[in-house]
């Protein structure tokens, strides 16, 4: 028996279905969604996307078929006045067999490509792949290029067209590496103390990026207070541009100012600062910030290539000026935000392990930097680009 309420329910269900399909179409259209899985730039991502779409269209087909049969049944077999009771049946062997076999066949069509993809995406890297060691930290990402002698954090470069082999582990708890347009997710786990002769339990992702671009992602496994602020960005560039980046990471960071150098006063633009050959000119405030950075507690935890700062506890700050954000996604990389970060990181990111100017953190003493020093250090770090 169908009344107005049931009819309205059917209409509502149909409307919800149409809205859902429209929403899905909206997600797949356009590349303005930076963390979309629908526009992969690697074969790895392509495979994941096609497994998803394969499953999606099978289930949509089933949904449409079931809904059509349901609606036909509602109208065709509805109760009418004076109608006798329908024939009561129980058990129909043919139908029982049919509705066991059809789903089994559908499961095969979904299962086979899925299992194939699992094996494909676990493939070993080829000999000439570029290995990047990825280390998850609470709450930032470390990237090492052992063959190239380059380290960076949160923002990393890859050459287009060359196979990339991410060899991943965690420095603390379990994280998950996920850059949706590249592929993933894959867990990043602490290295278990491997027994003799055993390989450490790295996780791997092997992929080749097809097109140049900037691809962002984030940690995809809850890993503590600031799990949501653990972003990373991959920049895929032409091989020549990649080589130039490597060169700049190794060499172009200005050497620290010797401690006895007379520094210009803040805002004293008339002072000419002697730059080492080939170094980008920086303003006096940045020069001052450089000196402060290299004589304060900063270098106990942070590294900047080609300087005395070689700390490994916190993120490597080489070419920090290139990074889109401060604090692995806490805020955009602006002068104001970098100053706020140095003043007290936990104002921007709960649980951050870096001490502030006046506040200790995680056993590290406060840096004691004054407002003027904070401004200078922020200027220096942002000048490293």
Complex with ligand CUA: residue 215 or 380, whichever CB lies closer? 215
Q: Of 344-383, which residues contact ligand CUA (CB under 6 A)?
A: none
Among 175, 294, 349, 382, binds ligand CUA (CB under 6 A): 175
Complex with ligand CUA: residue 323 or 382, whichever CB lies closer? 323
With contacts defined by CB under 6 A, name the span among 126-134, 154-162, 221-229, 377-385 that binds ligand CUA: 221-229
Residue 217 within binding range of ligand CUA, rule CB under 6 A: no
Pick the closest to residue 151 from 129, 176, 133 (CA basis).
133
**283 within 8 A of 269, measured Cβ to Cβ:** yes
Complex with ligand CUA: residue 177 or 242, whichever CB lies closer? 177
Among 221, 287, 316, 339, binds ligand CUA (CB under 6 A): 221
Complex with ligand CUA: residue 230 or 330, whichever CB lies closer? 230
With contacts defined by CB under 6 A, name the span among 68-76, 93-101, 216-224, 260-268 that binds ligand CUA: 216-224
Among 51, 164, 206, 230, binds ligand CUA (CB under 6 A): 230
CB of 333 to ligand CUA, least distance (A): 20
Question: Interhelix angle for 284-295 vs 371-383, to 10°?
Answer: 100
Pick the closest to residue 290 from 276, 130, 278, 277 (CA basis).
276
- Beta-bridged to residue 232, according to DSSP, are 217
Residue 229 within binding range of ligand CUA, rule CB under 6 A: no
With contacts defined by CB under 6 A, name the span among 96-104, 193-201, 214-222, 329-337 that binds ligand CUA: 214-222
Residue 227 within binding range of ligand CUA, rule CB under 6 A: yes
With contacts defined by CB under 6 A, name the span among 85-93, 113-121, 215-223, 332-340 that binds ligand CUA: 215-223
With contacts defined by CB under 6 A, name the span among 113-121, 218-226, 275-283, 338-346 that binds ligand CUA: 218-226
- What end-to-end distance do the CA atoms of the chain give, in Å? 72
Complex with ligand CUA: residue 224 or 311, whichever CB lies closer? 224
Residue 302 within binding range of ligand CUA, rule CB under 6 A: no
Residue 136 within binding range of ligand CUA, rule CB under 6 A: yes
Residue 99 within binding range of ligand CUA, rule CB under 6 A: no
With contacts defined by CB under 6 A, name the span among 16-24, 220-228, 236-244, 302-310 that binds ligand CUA: 220-228
Residue 189 within binding range of ligand CUA, rule CB under 6 A: no
**139 within 8 A of 130, measured Cβ to Cβ:** no
Complex with ligand CUA: residue 231 or 237, whichever CB lies closer? 231
Among 223, 342, 348, 381, binds ligand CUA (CB under 6 A): 223
Residue 219 within binding range of ligand CUA, rule CB under 6 A: yes
* Cα radius of gyration (the chain): 29
Can you give the binding site for ligand CUA, defined by CB under 6 A?
136, 139, 175, 219, 221-223, 227, 230
């Amino acid at each position: 028996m169908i009344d107005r309420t049931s009819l309205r329910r059917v209409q509502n269900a149909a409307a919800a279905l149409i809205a859902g399909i429209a929403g899905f179409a909206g997600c797949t259209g356009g590349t303005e969604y930076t963390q979309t899985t629908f526009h992969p730039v690697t074969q790895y991502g392509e495979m994941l996307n096609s497994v998803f779409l394969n499953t999606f269209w099978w289930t949509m087909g089933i949904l449409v078929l079931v809904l059509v049969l349901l609606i036909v049944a509602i109208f065709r077999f509805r109760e009418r006045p004076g109608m006798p009771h329908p024939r009561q049946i129980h058990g129909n062997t043919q139908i029982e067999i049919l509705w066991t076999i059809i789903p089994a066949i559908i499961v095969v069509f979904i299962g086979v490509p899925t299992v194939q993809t699992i094996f494909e995406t676990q493939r070993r890297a080829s000999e000439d792949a570029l290995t990047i060691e990825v280390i998850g930290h609470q709450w930032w990402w470390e990237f090492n290029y052992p063959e190239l002698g380059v380290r960076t954090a949160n923002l990393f470069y890859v050459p287009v067209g060359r196979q990339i082999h991410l060899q991943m582990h965690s420095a603390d708890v379990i994280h998950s590496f996920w850059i949706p347009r590249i592929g993933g997710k894959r867990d990043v786990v602490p290295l278990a103390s491997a027994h003799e002769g055993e390989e450490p339990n790295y996780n791997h992702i092997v992929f080749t990026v097809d097109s140049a671009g900037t691809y962002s992602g984030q940690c995809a496994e809850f890993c503590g207070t600031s799990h949501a602020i653990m972003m990373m960005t991959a920049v895929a560039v032409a091989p020549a541009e990649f080589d130039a980046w490597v060169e700049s990471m190794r060499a172009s960071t200005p050497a620290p100012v010797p401690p006895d150098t007379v520094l210009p006063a803040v805002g004293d633009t008339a002072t000419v600062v002697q730059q080492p050959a080939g170094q980008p000119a920086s303003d006096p405030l940045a020069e001052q910030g450089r000196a402060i950075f290299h004589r304060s507690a900063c270098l106990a935890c942070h590294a900047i290539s080609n300087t005395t700062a070689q700390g490994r506890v916190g993120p490597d700050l080489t070419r920090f000026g290139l990074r889109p954000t401060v604090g692995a996604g806490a805020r955009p990389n602006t002068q104001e935000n970098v100053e706020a970060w140095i003043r007290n990181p936990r104002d921007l990111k709960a649980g951050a392990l870096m001490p502030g100017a006046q506040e200790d953190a995680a056993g590290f003493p406060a840096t004691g930097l004054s407002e003027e020093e904070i401004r200078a250090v922020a200027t220096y770090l942002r000048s490293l680009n």
